Amino acid sequence: MGRRESSAMVLLALVLLHGVQAGRVLPVEEPDVSATVKATRVSVIIIGAGMSGITAGKTLSENGVKDLLILEARDEIGGRMMTHDFGGITIEKGANWIEGVNGPNVNPIIPIAKEIGLVNDRSDFENITNNIYGANGKVDLEVAEPANKFIEDLYESSESLALRLTNDTDVSVLTAQRFYGRFPVTPVEMALDYWYNDFTSAEPPRITSLKNTQPLPTDAIFGDDVYFVHDPRGYKSVVHHLANSYLENKNETITDNRLKLNTLVNKIEYSKEGVEVTTKDGTVYTSDYAIVSVSLGVLQSTAIDFVPDLPFWKLKAIYTFDMAVYTKIFLKFSKKFWSSGSGNKFWLYADERRGYYPIWECRTWIVSFPMRMCSW
């Protein structure tokens, strides 16, 4: 079950899938000591009921560890798989794609998606050069095709540089581009560069690690196709399905008292004797082990006070990565003025300013464009 440190363990489940989060850091609040209650000791406390926390509970449960307690700060499970009702349509505030499909291994989300009939479709990026617009309208294929070839060649040469790096060396994607001798400068090249790099990594090439992204492990292991989820129940229904497989529920609503919602953890004390987890209302829960599944952003903040401090090797891992910000803006128009169909779902806007509203995705009614404003 992981690495042992004294006899108590604090496992950090760091799911760094593109390292993005909804971007809200939970505040630290002093527990109200007068309200302190020692609840019954359990084997494992899981902090966080997102995809990783709920999956950890399922794995434990299937292996006979059923006296567990899941503590979740928000009023629902799912974490960064979160929906919002936008003019009668369910939109995804967090994860939206099943990433890594049609490759050598089956993405574990696929069988679940099939089982629950999750509505999704393959994102077709092939026709992107036909859908680039600039300040003066549609960009000619004569301009778009060579720019796309340049960006693809740049990507491939970066990949070969990545393979030449020794184990303890890493450089940024921008460094690799500089090695190539030329980097994207025209509006169309910059838009395509943003599309290949920032859209995938949620960080600009100057920040993105070459070694960790080329080749991209998700693509190499599971395949490079991505499927866009647009199910009225939300992508989070995958997490609900996993939860319902081991937590008591009535008509799909979890009634199991091993799941505590609206329960914000702000202190984790661990020793040879076990783990004491203190929540905002001052309740202290005790266990033999704890699994911490909160996001990297929460771990990098002061939201949870670890006593004693986490060991250096763990802190190093936590602070070596950066929590990226991924912004989506949804717009709804009264009239559909864009062309649709599989080769037309994605458009690029090529501006003089890199990262200026570059990516547009069009659905029946909604145009959404993930974007990242550049700050350099």
Ligand X SMILES: *[C@@H]1O[C@H](CO)[C@@H](O)[C@H](O)[C@H]1NC(C)=O
| 347 sits in which H/E element | strand 346-350
User: Minimum distance between the CB of residue 148 and ligand FAD, rounded to whole angstroms?
Assistant: 23
Please say which residue, 154 or 303, places its beta carbon nearer to ligand FAD. Answer: 303
Site for ligand X in 238-277 (CB under 6 A): 251
Q: Which runs of E-coded beta strand occur in 186-335?
A: 225-229, 249-250, 253-254, 259-260, 265-271, 274-279, 284-292, 305-307, 327-332
Q: Are 87 and 332 in contact (CB under 8 A)?
A: yes
User: Which region among 75-83, 129-137, 158-166, 247-255 touches ligand FAD (by CB under 6 A)?
Assistant: 75-83
Question: Is there binding between residue 130 and ligand X (CB under 6 A)?
Answer: yes
The residue number whose beta carbon is nearest to ligand X equals 343
User: Minimum distance between the CB of residue 352 and ligand FAD, rounded to whole angstroms?
Assistant: 27
Which one of ligand FAD, ligand X, none interacts with residue 130, CB within 5 to 8 A by kind?
ligand X
Question: Is there binding between residue 160 and ligand X (CB under 6 A)?
Answer: no
Question: Is there binding between residue 44 and ligand FAD (CB under 6 A)?
Answer: no
Please say which residue, 60 or 154, places its beta carbon nearer to ligand FAD. Answer: 60
User: 317 exposed, middle or buried (CB, 10 Å; 0-12, 13-18, 19+)?
Assistant: middle
Report the residue from 31, 223, 343, 370 that binds ligand X according to the rule CB under 6 A: 343
CB environment 163-173: b (16+ within 10 A), e (fewer): eeeeeeeebbb
User: Minimum distance between the CB of residue 140 and ligand X, rounded to whole angstroms?
Assistant: 12
For 40, 345, 350, the CA distances from 67, given in Å and listed in that order, are 10, 47, 55
Q: Are 289 and 334 in contact (CB under 8 A)?
A: no
**H helical segments located in 63-172:** 109-116, 141-164
Please say which residue, 30 or 168, places its beta carbon nearer to ligand X. Answer: 168
Question: Is there binding between residue 21 and ligand FAD (CB under 6 A)?
Answer: yes
| CA R_g for the chain | 23
Please say which residue, 96 or 208, places its beta carbon nearer to ligand FAD. Answer: 96
Residue 302 phi/psi, 5° resolution?
-100, 15
Question: Is there binding between residue 107 and ligand FAD (CB under 6 A)?
Answer: no
Residue 325, classed as helix, strand or coil, is coil
Question: Is there binding between residue 265 and ligand FAD (CB under 6 A)?
Answer: yes
Q: Are 275 and 45 in contact (CB under 8 A)?
A: yes
Question: Is there binding between residue 167 and ligand X (CB under 6 A)?
Answer: yes
Q: Catalytic: 99? A: yes
Instruction: Spot the catalytic one: 99, 189, 269, 276.
Output: 99
Which one of ligand FAD, ligand X, none interacts with residue 50, CB within 5 to 8 A by kind?
ligand FAD
Q: Are 252 and 234 in contact (CB under 8 A)?
A: no
Which one of ligand FAD, ligand X, none interacts with residue 204, CB within 5 to 8 A by kind?
none
Q: Are 49 and 259 in contact (CB under 8 A)?
A: yes
Please say which residue, 251 or 320, places its beta carbon nearer to ligand X. Answer: 251
Which one of ligand X, ligand FAD, none interacts with residue 251, CB within 5 to 8 A by kind?
ligand X
Q: Which runs of E-coded beta strand occur in 37-106?
A: 42-47, 68-71, 83-86, 89-92, 97-101
Question: Is there binding between residue 71 and ligand FAD (CB under 6 A)?
Answer: yes
| Helix 237-244 and helix 51-62, axial crossing angle in degrees, nearest 10 | 20
> How many Cα atoms are found within 13 Å in the side-chain-facing hemisphere of 211?
8
**H helical segments located in the chain:** 51-62, 109-116, 141-164, 173-180, 187-193, 199-201, 210-213, 217-222, 237-244, 296-300, 312-320
Per-residue binding letters, 33-62, with ligand X (x by CB under 6 A): ------------------------------
Report the residue from 90, 102, 300, 344 that binds ligand X according to the rule CB under 6 A: 344
Interacting residue ranges for ligand X, rule: CB under 6 A: 127, 130-131, 166-167, 251, 339, 342-344
Interacting residue ranges for ligand FAD, rule: CB under 6 A: 15, 17-18, 20-22, 26, 47-53, 71-74, 79-81, 94-97, 99, 264-265, 293-295, 298, 303-304, 326
Residues tagged active-site: 99
